Each structure stands twice: as C-alpha cells, then as structure tokens.
Chain A
Amino acid sequence: MTLLGQFSLWVALLLGLWAAGMAFVSPWQDRPEFAASAIRSAFGVWVALLVAAVCLWKGLLSHDFNIEYVAAYTSRNLPTSYVFSAFWAGQKGSLLFWAVVLSTFGALAQLTTSRRYEDLLPYVAGVTSLVVVFFISVMLFGGANPFERLPFTPPDGRGLNPQLQNPGMVIHPPMLYLGYISITIPFAFAIAALLSRRLDTGWIHAIRKWTLLSWLFLSVGITLGMWWAYVELGWGGYWAWDPVENASLLPWLTMSAFLHSVMIQEKRGMLKRWNLSLIVASFLLSLFGTFITRSGVIASVHSFTQSNVGFFFAGFLFVAAVVSFTLLYTRWPLLKPEAALESMASREAAFLFNNLVFVGIAFSVLWGTLFPILSEWVRGTKITVGPPFFNRVNVPLGILLLALTGIGPLIAWRKASTANLKRQFRLPIATGLLGGGVLFAMGLHDLYVLVALTIAGFVLGTVAQEFYRGVRARMRMHGESVPMAFVELIAKNRRRYGGYVVHVAMVIYFVAFAGSAFKVTKEATLKPGESTTLKSPFGHTYTFTHLGVSQYTAFNRNVSAASLELALDGKKIDVIRAEKRQHVDSFGQKLFEPSTEVGIRSGLREDVYVVYAGSVSGTEEASFALSINPLVWWVWFAGVLLVIGGLVTMWPGGWAPAPVARRQVQAGFAVTLVESEIGTATGGEG
C-alpha cells in the first residue's frame, strides 16, 4: 500500500503542476480547452490524493509498523477511533490530510459554483492546485513523507500521546484544519478576480458560502480546542494565549472582519480593496499559523516535532504575500469604490470601526506572539509574553468590539438622524445600565467585568429590540401570530437574524470569559476519609472528602482513580473521580509519562474541577488541585449557539444579493418605494 500511496502522491504532484500551468496559460493564449484541462486535472489531483489517504489509513488500521509514521503514532492496543485519528496526529499525516481536504474543497468549488462565475473557475483551479502542489512538495521533498518505511519492523508502535487520546482531539484538529484550509477557496477566487480583472461584486457572491463555512469551521475548531484544553490538560482554563492558539485566532479575526465589511461592498459597492486585502490576509495568516506550529520558531506546547518543514512554509508564505499584494497593487485603480462614506452616524462607519477593532486585535495578538522574537532582535533577550500581557492589551479592545456589536445594528445605512439614533439607542442603553446597576448593587465591583457585563446587557437589548420590532412589523403587515412571525422573520432574512444569534453567542462568550476572573483554587493532601472545603465565588461552600484510590487496568493503560465525595453546603451531591493514567503498549511496556485525567462536575453556575496530582509515599494519601470555575458551561453553550447562528446564516434560500444599483435606488427617499422597502426588510429577500 505504501508503494501505491507514494505513486499517488507523485501523480497528484504532476497533475497539480499541469492544472496550475494550464489554468494560467489558458487566458494568456486564449485557449479555452486548456482551462477545461486544468479543471479536469484538479479533479484528478483530488482522486490521487484520496487514494494516498486511503493507503495511509490502511497502513494505520492494519498496524503496519514498518511504516515509520504508523510506528510513531499508534500501537496495537490503541483504540480504533484513535488509530483512525492518528492520521492527523503527526506532522506527516496532517500534511497529507491538509492536501486531501484542500483538493476536495477545490473540487467542490468547481462543482458548486454558479455558472455565472465560470470565467473565474480555471484560475480557482490553478490557485488551489498550486497550494496543493506546495503541500505535496513538502511531503515529498521536505522530509515529511508519511509513507516512509523503516529498515526494520518493530513488534509494536510507540503509541499516541495520551493527551491526544480524547474525543475532542478526534474532532478539534480536523475542524481547525477545515477552517484553515477552506480559506484557500475565497483566496483563490480573490486571486482569480484580480487576474481576470473581473472586480465587480461577483466574486464576493461566489465565495459567500465559503467564507461563512471557513469562519464556522474555525469557530468550531477553536471552541473544541478550548474544550479539549479544559478537560484534558488539567490546568482548569481553556485559553492560555499560546502561540498556536493565537495562530488559530488570527484568521478567525480577519474573517470576522471580512464577514462584516463585505456587507458594505454588497450594499454600497465600497471597501473593495479592503475586502480583497482581508481575504489575502486571512489566507496568509492561516499559512502563518501552520508555519508557527511546524517550524518551532516560537516555543509552544502544541508544536509538532521541529523539522525543516518550517522553512518551506516561510518561503511559501513570503511568495504568496508578494504575489498577492503585487496583484492587488496593479489592480488598485480598478477597485475604486462606487460610493463614499457620508457620515460618522451610519452603519457603514460603525462597520468600519468594527473592522478596525477586529484587525487591531489581530495585529495586537500577532504583535504579542512575535514579541519574543522582536525583543531578541532588538535587545538580545527573548522576552516572554504570557496571558497577563495579552489580557492587559486585548481585554479593553475586546470590550470595545463587544460594544460595536451592539451599536452597528442600531444605526441606519448612509446617515442616521439624531431622532433616529435616540429612538434606536434608548432601550438597549437602558437595558445595559439597568443590568450593570443591578450587578453593582449585588457587590460586583471589578471594573473590567462590570463594564463588560453592562455592555453585554446593551448588546442583548439591541438584539431583543431588533427581534421585537421585526416580529411586530410582520404581525401587523401579515397578520401572523407571534411564533409564526418569529419563525418567518428568521426564515425570510436568515443572514441578518442568524447574525444576531451569533451576536448573542458572542455576548455569552464574553460573560463566560468574565467569569474566569472569579476562579478559586486550592491544593490539598487528603488521607482516605479526610475532608477539605472550598468557597465558591457565589458564596456556597463545597466540601471534598477523599474516599480512596483504586487501581485497575483498562484498554491500553493502567489507571489509578481517586474518588472524592462532593458536598454543597453540607449536602452530598456527587462523587468525582480524577485519574492518573500510565499508558502501556501491547507488551505491557510503559509509554510516555503518567498523565492526568481531570474530574469535572459541570453546572450552569460553576464547574467543580479536580486534578489528582499524585500520591504521598506510594499510599492512598493523595494530593489534589481543586478549583471552582464559574460560568465555564456557558462557553460551550455559546459555541453551540454560534454554530446554530452560523448555520441559519448559511442555510440556502433565505437571502440573495441584489445588485448595488438596485439597492441605491431603494435607499432613496421616494414614498412610493416604502412598501417595497418594508417588504424587503421583513418578508422579501433582504
């Protein structure tokens, strides 16, 4: 199978080169048959890479330990689901995974894109093929070939890192990869638009679903990564501002900025240059994330083994940046806006400031991530910047962004009158101030948290007002009941109201993040029967009583499980089990250092989090790290809500872009258009 895998990689490489060559030569030579050949070859690349992927999975599942990758990341007693996910556990496999998914997305883009944008498709095939060729080249020439064989066959493999043996790690990396990879499609369309000089809003419409999809994958990937860190790593938190975490946040921020600013291009024909720059930046940042993970240039707990693969990525990143920005520069005059911003009190301006903050946060995260390198260059000392630094710089920006989430929807397009602003802001501001006042009266005096929660109240007020007015307008105009009007309101304008659901999710994220400021932690050593207490930030007292440690063997590990009886204000509520695991291979030989498995009792208000640190003198007397983590459950709930909002927004049929010219007429003030305006906003295609 390895021979077939190797052969498939070479076939994919040659076909990819052919596809790229034909795609770019076709318009130059005016040979449409070349373009057709490029698209067919892109499908060929996909098939070849699929064969290579099947070969690697076959090697993994059949425990062919003669393959270096299989021996390095699996063992005979590894549960099958983890053998399957070992495909992307290591550097080499994840590169193949990346190439397979990208070629799949490339093929899907060819199949699903409307024929209206047919002239862009050969270029899209060319760009995606070039990126795929890069990944295959890294595998074949960068010492990252997943089919490399060993000179001998070990009796068993080295097993999968215990921290990767978690359901979250089966889903989280692919989701994040899908997010990173799918950005290539909008990027390919952007480059296609630049190359073909077809720089109207057509390419924007062609990539709308793709941008939402990649943003959604990134969001899910990041949230799952937070969940995995929380349940598996045992430090009681979910975000550590690690360089690799930051790398995943960067394209998410620029994509979020794009999803807002693209509305201005669709409605007003403005920000064309900015939108192209954001797409290019998102693609480059996704490559940058990969570079950070794989180069070892910045220390991170997530990094793959250091190798020369990083140099390939640095080179490709540089070339992609130069080519993209050169193209953008040469097409600059063609990207003139069709209208101008007219007022500070307009939705365009609010979106512009929202974009500024999104990109500002992205810059600040990038700046902090690269600061150790910068300081080493300037001062000769590698200065660490950890969570305290990132929190100090980014928390105020995050609060500002949250405020803009509530402000944007309240302001009219083009120019809002003072009376209009007063009418729109009255209720949300009252909601925010009321919420903040109540929290202050209840004893919440932490400034940042109080401001964040007050603004969260303001944003919720905005969303509630939007839904209330929309439902009321539908009820009046169509005579619908409240539930029917609510459902129809969302169904007829999925993009807008799906977006509001996402805004609510963001509010919940912020509230949950603010909760982490009130985390309480304690260490304790307990003999069986002994107890210790911990006061929750909500004023309750938790009592932990050590019941004992049991040891047993399960699957591929020896387990020591410590059980703690948990009582809330004196009433027994649960037994929490925290474990230490020693993974072994099929011969019982120890693999890796012992790992911890956290015991969590999750609740709406707070989580009780127990880590079994180890035993004193080999007895059941055990040391524990105990903590109460407020509002963590809401982080995961916000993740689910965000997915729901994203899916509502993406769901086909609820929205179709209208040409800019038509919208400009609609924006006029003729009384005769009022009916159609009302229909557009509440019932028609928004």
Chain B
Amino acid sequence: MSESMERRRFLRRALAGLGFATIASRALAQDKSPRPEDLADPTIVGRGRERVTLADNDEIAMGVEHRLKCTCPCNLDVFTCRTTDFNCTYSPALHREVLELRKAGKNADQIIQAFVGKYGERILMAPKPAGFNLAGYLVPGLGILGVGGVLAVMLLRRGKNPAATVVGAGSLDGPPVPASADELAALAQALSEVDR
C-alpha cells in the first residue's frame, strides 16, 4: 500500500472520528441542557421521589402502616411519617418492606407478625392486649368502673335510708302542703321549667 493511500485512510478515519465526536458531544450537550419539564433548582424541593404505584395505595398496606411505628424518633406511624416527614429515610424503607410482604401474598396480620418478629413489639403503635400490656388497656376502665360502682352503691344505700333522705326542691313526692290541687299543679309546672 502506498504512503498516500495510508495517509488518505488515516485522514478519512480521523474525519469520521471527529464527526462522531462532534455528534456525540452535541447529543451529550443536549442531554445536559434544561428540558421544559425540569425544575430550575431541584435541590430546594428536597429528596427526589419515586413514582407512586398502585401498590402504594393498597388499602391493606396503608392499614398495616398505620399500625406500625416508624423506627425514627418521630413517634409517628409508618404511613404518617412517610407522607409527612419527607426527610425521614426509615419510613420509606419500612414501607418497601410492607409492600414486599404484600407482594409475597401476606395478609395484614401476617405482615404485622413478620414485623414484630423482626423488630420486636416496640414496632407496634398499640401494644398487644396480653400479659403486662393488659394493664395498659384495662387499668383506667377498671378504675373508673370500680370507683363508680362504689359511689353508686353508697348513693343507693343512702337513697334507701329514709333518715338521710331530704326532699328537695325538684321533688314532688314530699309531704302534703297546704295548697289546692290547682296551686300544686301550677307549682309543679313552674318548677319543671325553672328549677333544675
């Protein structure tokens, strides 16, 4: 092959390479230029979001997430945390776990069981009503019932003891008074309207 042929081949290849580089750089430049849908400053919108899928709106998954506590210190349930605190990284991760379990065909209780197995009982927004936790549920109600019961018994006993009963202004069962039937009826009517 002659030297001139070699030179021509070299120049052709060089030109082709240059052309390719120009086109590629233009294409790259096009990629970097702002598209109409781009935000002017995406950094001020916070962390980028994944597209919402049908699974995200699954009612069972949402119900489960309301029963699970986020492991960040917010004290909120997973659903509330991930749809409120968009800087939290824990609740989105827990949400993904819930969706994976749903995808695996688990129902709400099975998902809860799986979470309790993995994270312990503290993952629950309301403790299981068993063992010591029963005290949490029952003590206030039992306390009110107990005190209320004692109070009711005391009052009923007093009611039965005639010595302690004083006929009040609201009662019409008291001893006879020197008044006519009409006067008593008018009195009853007036008292029913004003004396309560």
Query: B117 interface residue, CB < 8 Å from A?
Result: no
Name A's interface SS: mixed
B46 interfacial contact with A, CB 8 Å: yes
> Digit string of B160-187 for contact with A (CB within 8 Å is 1, else 0)?
0000111111111110011100010001
Chain A interfacial residues counted at CB < 8 A: 106
Residue of A nearest to B168 (CB): A414
Q: Given A340-B158, A356-B144, check contact A614 B183 (CB 8 Å).
A: no
Q: Are the CB atoms of A384 and B127 closer together than 8 Å?
A: yes
Say if the beta carbon of A565 comes within 8 Å of chain B.
Answer: no
Residues from chain B with Cβ under 8 Å of A678 in the complex: 190, 194
- Knowing A424-B192, A523-B83, A613-B49 are in contact, say whether A384-B39 is a contact too (CB < 8 A): no
Given contact pairs A528-B37, A615-B42, A371 touches B136 in the complex (Cβ within 8 A) = yes
Report the nearest A residue to B67, measured CB to CB: A388
Interface centre among B42, B87, B170 (most CB of A within 10 A): B170
Indicate whether A461 reaches chain B with its CB closer than 8 angstroms: no
Determine if A393 is an interface residue (Cβ-Cβ < 8 Å).
Answer: yes
CA distance A42 to B23 in the complex (A): 85
Per-position 1/0 for A335-352, Cβ under 8 A of B: 000001111111101001
Nearest A-chain residue to B186, judged by Cβ: A674
Q: Judging by beta carbons under 8 Å apart, are B183 and A671 in contact?
A: yes
Interface pair A470/B124, CB less than 8 Å apart: no
Interface: B74 (CB within 8 A): yes
Is the Cβ of B133 less than 8 Å from the Cβ of A619? no
A387 touching B125 in the complex, CB below 8 Å, given contacts A412-B169, A560-B45: yes
A616 touches B45 (CB 8 A): no
A363 contacts B by Cβ under 8 Å: yes
Does residue B105 face the partner (Cβ distance < 8 Å to A)? no
Indicate if the CB atoms of A344 and B179 lie closer than 8 Å: no
Q: Which of B45, B120, B174 contacts A615 (CB 8 A)?
A: B45
With A235-B84, A615-B45 as contacts: A415 and B171 at CB distance below 8 Å? yes
Cβ-defined contact, B50 with A616, below 8 A: yes
Alpha-carbon distance between A674 and B183 when the two chains are bound, in angstroms: 11
Query: Are B83 and A615 interface neighbours, CB within 8 A?
Result: no
Binds A, one of B12-20, B96-104, B147-155: B147-155
> Which stretch from A33-41, A189-197, A373-381 is at the chain B interface?
A373-381
Nearest CB to that of A562 among chain B residues?
Answer: B45
Q: B-facing mask of A541-581, CB < 8 A → 1, else 0?
A: 00000000101000000111000000000000000000010
Interface of chain B residues 10 through 60 with chain A (CB within 8 A): 35, 37-52, 56-57
Residues 112-145 (chain B) with a chain A CB within 8 angstroms: 120-122, 124-127, 132-133, 136-137, 139-141, 143-144
B76 at the interface (CB under 8 A from A): yes
B137 touches A393 (CB 8 A): yes
Task: Say which residue of A240, A364, A582, A677 sits within 8 Å of B44 (CB atoms).
Answer: A582
B48 x A615 contact (CB < 8 A)? yes
Taking the complex as formed, is A29 at the interface, i.e. its CB lies under 8 A from any CB of chain B? Answer: no
Indicate if A651 sits at the interface (CB-CB under 8 A): no
- Would you call B169 and A666 a contact (CB within 8 A)? yes
Contact A357/B144 with A342-B165, A383-B122, A416-B171 known, Cβ cut-off 8 Å: yes
Residues of B within 8 A of A (CB): 35, 37-52, 56-57, 62, 66-67, 69, 73-77, 80, 83-84, 86-87, 120-122, 124-127, 132-133, 136-137, 139-141, 143-144, 147-148, 151-152, 154-156, 158-159, 164-174, 177-179, 183, 187, 190-196
Interface CB pairs A-B, < 8 A, 18: A301-B75, A342-B166, A343-B159, A344-B159, A360-B140, A363-B143, A367-B136, A367-B139, A411-B196, A414-B167, A415-B166, A415-B171, A558-B44, A613-B86, A620-B38, A667-B169, A678-B190, A678-B194
List 6 other contacts, CB 8 Å, given A411-B170, A414-B167. Answer: A340-B164, A356-B151, A363-B140, A393-B136, A611-B83, A620-B39
